[in-house]
Structure 1
Amino acid sequence: MAKRHKLVTAFVGALAATSLLAACSTNGAAGPSENPEDVTGEVTLWVYPYIDEAAWWADEVDKFNEDYPNIKLDVVVQPWADRDTQITTAIAGGQAPDLVYFIPDQIGQFASQGVLSDVSDVIDDWSVYTKPAVEGVSFDGTIYGLPILQSVSSRLIYKPAWEAAGITEYPTTWQEALADAPALKEAGYYLTDYYADQGPSLNLTFYPLLWQAGGDVLSEDGSECTLDSKEGVAAIEFLQTIFDNGWADSTYLTTAPDQNAPVQRGQTAMVMSTASGTLVQSGVVPGDDWLSLPPLKDEETVTYGAVGSLGLLEGSANKDAAKVFLRWFSQPEITREYNVDRTYFSPIAADTGLYEEGTLQAGEEKQLDLVKTGVSAPNARQIMDLIKPQIQAALLGQISPEDALAKACTDVTGILQR
């Protein structure tokens, strides 16, 4: 049996050395021009709001221009809504920016359309980045973005629930969690939450369970749907067991998450896949009552995490100046500042210890090597939209897990063959 986490001790690890900033001030990036004043150009960057981005970037533009006074950097904060349409429309109308903030599924989507430029020459040594960070900015073996942010969807434990149930060790596997569920229910708590409504991303719901069972959505080369597997069935059956026994609120099989969900009411013992920042955004203020632990394991210990990057559009007329900015922004101290201000994590492998030990963020940071960045395919979002209703139907008892996954794979195969 896998070793459980003792309640009497926090989930801690040795704090990684933080001498990186002194030892690696350029992060393997190509050095700046011998005479920065010789570098000229106008660069437009589109970003999206995590914080007051306009104020934050105004300071960074000033710092950049201290080093490169003849590059005009214009940072435009765009809304998250319909961002793909914004980009496509701007490209078609000849009004596209030079650089855009992307996440992994956008990298595959736009790279496959030929609108992204290879930026592998921006960094001399890509091994300084975490493996998920490099994977998240790559498509078909080419690097299309500079990683600037990493997130992790952690397993968050609500400690009072386990104490009320008299459980003295936290589960580390699916089976241990299921064994604890009756005592938690008796104490008035749901084991966990799960949202099968069509809104939430499967990256935060079903995909991590599929990966934990040892399965995946597509084959390694992305040419075949592999969802209809024993691993896929195991993931659905795990969820069915939870809902059939009332160990999660079945309301949210068909209803979008809201401020009255059991997690927000303090009635859920464990959130299987979320970030502490997302928990705060949902109305929960996690204090000492919450703990971040690695994801549950069935066959594998794995979860989802996003990678934020800056991608260079192929149509840019200012590629040299844009790459100068990317090299400048890749400096560890700048990347660290960017992430701490947004409560995320540096994609630079050695740049750890961003948060005080004992905080949820410190626990999450230790899990960055357990991350998968989702489905790497040009049509990852379309694929997800085809899978969602089948998973929901299976959990509602309208179709068997096997038939649901077979139907999903038939639909996904139709997209892959286009």
Structure 2
Amino acid sequence: MLRRLVGGLAAAALALSAAGCGGSAGDGKQSVTLWMYPLSTNDQSVNQTFWSGVEQGFEKAHPDIDVKVEIQPWENREEKLTTALASGKGPDLVLMIPDQVPQFARTRSLQPVDDALGGPREDFQPGAISGSTYEGKLYLAPLYQTATLPAYNKKVLAEIGVTEAPKTWDEVLSWVPKLSAKGYQTLDYTAATDASLNGSYYLTLWQSGGRVFAPDGKSVAFNSPEGEKALKILVDIYKQGGIPKSQLTAQGDASTGPMAKGKVALNNAMSVPFLKNLQKLWGADNVMVGPPLSNGKQGVSFGLPGGLALASAAKDPKAAKEFLRYVTGSEVLAGLSKAFGYFPPRKSVPVPDDPVMKQYEPYLSTMFAGEVQPASRQVMSVLAPHIQAALKGDKSPRQALDDAAKEANELIARTG
């Protein structure tokens, strides 16, 4: 039975009640409860219709298992989920993204799902598998994949005689003085300290062959030659007027900011929804998508998988894994992609027949979900002010990264 839970105390009580958990359904059937979150925020009925169909399809094939999909609100998600899993009375399955996994895996609130995929592991996109893996074990059964790519304003680039998307950051750097002379911004970038680094400095770092963390996760690695090389790109663009001073502290908004107003040449991590918005603003003929930029390492862009995690307290993990195999099967994944506009995490599942998504399709294998580490969010908060300081010229790139690394390593040592 599909149920929509609303916010507030009533929802929290329902979520934590024994009736909302897996186990016996009271009629001899096994019961599996899934906490799902709206994948479509524009039309709630799409969520209801899709998951109701999934329930019915699964229960028809597995009449001895009763599935309950409870559509939760996004508001206060972290707090509710932490409380529910800690109590042992939460859902059997829950939608998560990669950076949520470490905190729950470390407290043994989740169990691995390596044996619960609906197809061969090699059929899943490499980024979907790596992003769903923590300490060598698969903790998410991938449901969907997001993707970003560089997007360019063809009209702006025509002003400096550029007609094709670049492949390297060196090509972009050669544009900066020409664009600045004509009053254009080169890169849509924000250095606001509360902004995510995944689509900004981290992406440039990965494209330079660097890493945020050491392989064992016990220290940071961004203060490497590759990390310095990545930061120098951003500093050089800023110094030559390719990033305005206002964007050092303001949150970027690809839908309403300078990029949307047609004054910027490039955004390095444009998602499909934002690209479609640009097409409306500029006209589809003025928008160009390019391959991931390289600064020493080919083929890296940012894209997250979303997947289902299995609670350690699940009353019937065997039934829950049977449901995971069903929803990660080709038929359900194809339906999900079509209903919500996400990319399928499996190579054999066709990308929806959407002209923008088709432009991204050749690069799905390059999507990287980032580095899964328990302190990843806190480390990002430590690093961001130092990136900002380097752009402002208050520190050299080397000093900024070394200072940030010292703080971040102390943080990791404290938090274990």
1:290 counterpart = 2:287? yes
Q: What is residue 400 of structure 2 aligned with on the other side?
A: 404
Q: What is residue 193 of structure 1 aligned with on the other side?
A: 188
Q: What is residue 95 of structure 1 aligned with on the other side?
A: 89
Rounded to whole Å, the distance in 2 between the matches of 1:250 and 1:348 is 42
Q: What is residue 149 of structure 1 aligned with on the other side?
A: 144
Rounded to whole Å, the distance in 1 between the matches of 2:232 and 2:358 is 33
Q: What is residue 14 of structure 1 aligned with on the other side?
A: none
Q: What is residue 134 of structure 1 aligned with on the other side?
A: 129
Q: What is residue 336 of structure 1 aligned with on the other side?
A: 334
Structure scoring higher RCO (CA < 8 A, sep ≥ 6) equals 1
2:261 to 252, 265, 271: 265
1:48 counterpart = 2:46? no
Q: What is residue 19 of structure 2 aligned with on the other side?
A: none
Secondary structure of the equivalent of 1:341?
A: helix
TM-fit CA distance, 1:215: 0.9
- Change in CA separation of 1:414 and 1:80 when aligned onto 2, cut-off 3 Å: farther
TM-fit CA distance, 1:406: 1.1
* 1:212/1:297 contact within 8 Å kept: yes
- Change in CA separation of 1:326 and 1:108 when aligned onto 2, cut-off 3 Å: same
TM-fit CA distance, 1:386: 1.4
TM-fit CA distance, 1:352: 3.9
* 2:279/2:287 contact within 8 Å kept: no
* 1:292/1:360 contact within 8 Å kept: no
1:83 to 77, 80, 84: 77
List gaps (5 residues or longer) in structure 1: 1-37
1:348 counterpart = 2:365? no
Secondary structure of the equivalent of 2:162?
A: coil
Q: Report the residue type matching 1:307 in the other structure.
A: P
- Change in CA separation of 1:260 and 1:346 when aligned onto 2, cut-off 3 Å: closer
TM-fit CA distance, 1:288: 3.1
1:10-25 pair list within 5 angstroms? none
The structure 1 segments of at least 4 consecutive aligned residues displaced by more than 4 Å after TM superposition are: 279-286
TM-fit CA distance, 1:279: 4.2
* 2:114/2:139 contact within 8 Å kept: yes
1:415 counterpart = 2:411? yes
Instruction: Figure out how many residues of one structure are paired with residues of the other and give that number.
Output: 379
* 2:184/2:263 contact within 8 Å kept: yes
Using the size of structure 1 for normalisation, the TM-score is 0.85
Rounded to whole Å, the distance in 2 between the matches of 1:47 and 1:282 is 30
Rounded to whole Å, the distance in 2 between the matches of 1:277 and 1:336 is 19
Secondary structure of the equivalent of 1:315?
A: coil
Rounded to whole Å, the distance in 2 between the matches of 1:88 and 1:39 is 30
Identify, as 1 or 2, the structure richer in helix: 2
Q: What is residue 162 of structure 2 aligned with on the other side?
A: 167
TM-fit CA distance, 1:407: 1.7
Rounded to whole Å, the distance in 2 between the matches of 1:292 and 1:340 is 22
List gaps (5 residues or longer) in structure 2: 1-26
Rounded to whole Å, the distance in 2 between the matches of 1:39 and 1:332 is 30
> Percent identity between the aligned chains?
32
1:58-77 pair list within 5 angstroms? 58-77=52-71
Secondary structure of the equivalent of 2:212?
A: coil
Rounded to whole Å, the distance in 1 between the matches of 2:77 and 2:385 is 24
Secondary structure of the equivalent of 2:167?
A: coil
Rounded to whole Å, the distance in 1 between the matches of 2:128 and 2:164 is 33
Using the size of structure 2 for normalisation, the TM-score is 0.85
What per-residue deviation string (whole Å, max 9, x for no partner) do you get for residues 234-280 of structure 1?
11111111111111232111011245411111111111112122445
Secondary structure of the equivalent of 1:265?
A: coil
Task: Give the RMSD, CA atoms, in angstroms.
Answer: 2.2
- Change in CA separation of 1:74 and 1:63 when aligned onto 2, cut-off 3 Å: same
Q: Report the residue type matching 1:61 in the other structure.
A: E
What per-residue deviation string (whole Å, max 9, x for no partner) do you get for residues 275-313 of structure 1?
122445799657332222112111012111101111101
* 1:189/1:268 contact within 8 Å kept: yes
- Change in CA separation of 1:68 and 1:246 when aligned onto 2, cut-off 3 Å: same
Rounded to whole Å, the distance in 2 between the matches of 1:189 and 1:284 is 20
1:395 to 391, 397, 411: 391
1:299-314 pair list within 5 angstroms? 299-301=296-298, 302-314=300-312
* 2:351/2:357 contact within 8 Å kept: no
Rounded to whole Å, the distance in 2 between the matches of 1:232 and 1:60 is 45
- Change in CA separation of 1:39 and 1:295 when aligned onto 2, cut-off 3 Å: farther
Secondary structure of the equivalent of 1:288?
A: helix
Rounded to whole Å, the distance in 2 between the matches of 1:408 and 1:353 is 40
TM-fit CA distance, 1:364: 1.3
TM-fit CA distance, 1:187: 4.1
Q: What is residue 106 of structure 1 aligned with on the other side?
A: 100
Secondary structure of the equivalent of 1:218?
A: coil
* 2:130/2:369 contact within 8 Å kept: yes
Q: What is residue 326 of structure 1 aligned with on the other side?
A: 324
* 1:223/1:416 contact within 8 Å kept: yes
TM-fit CA distance, 1:152: 1.5
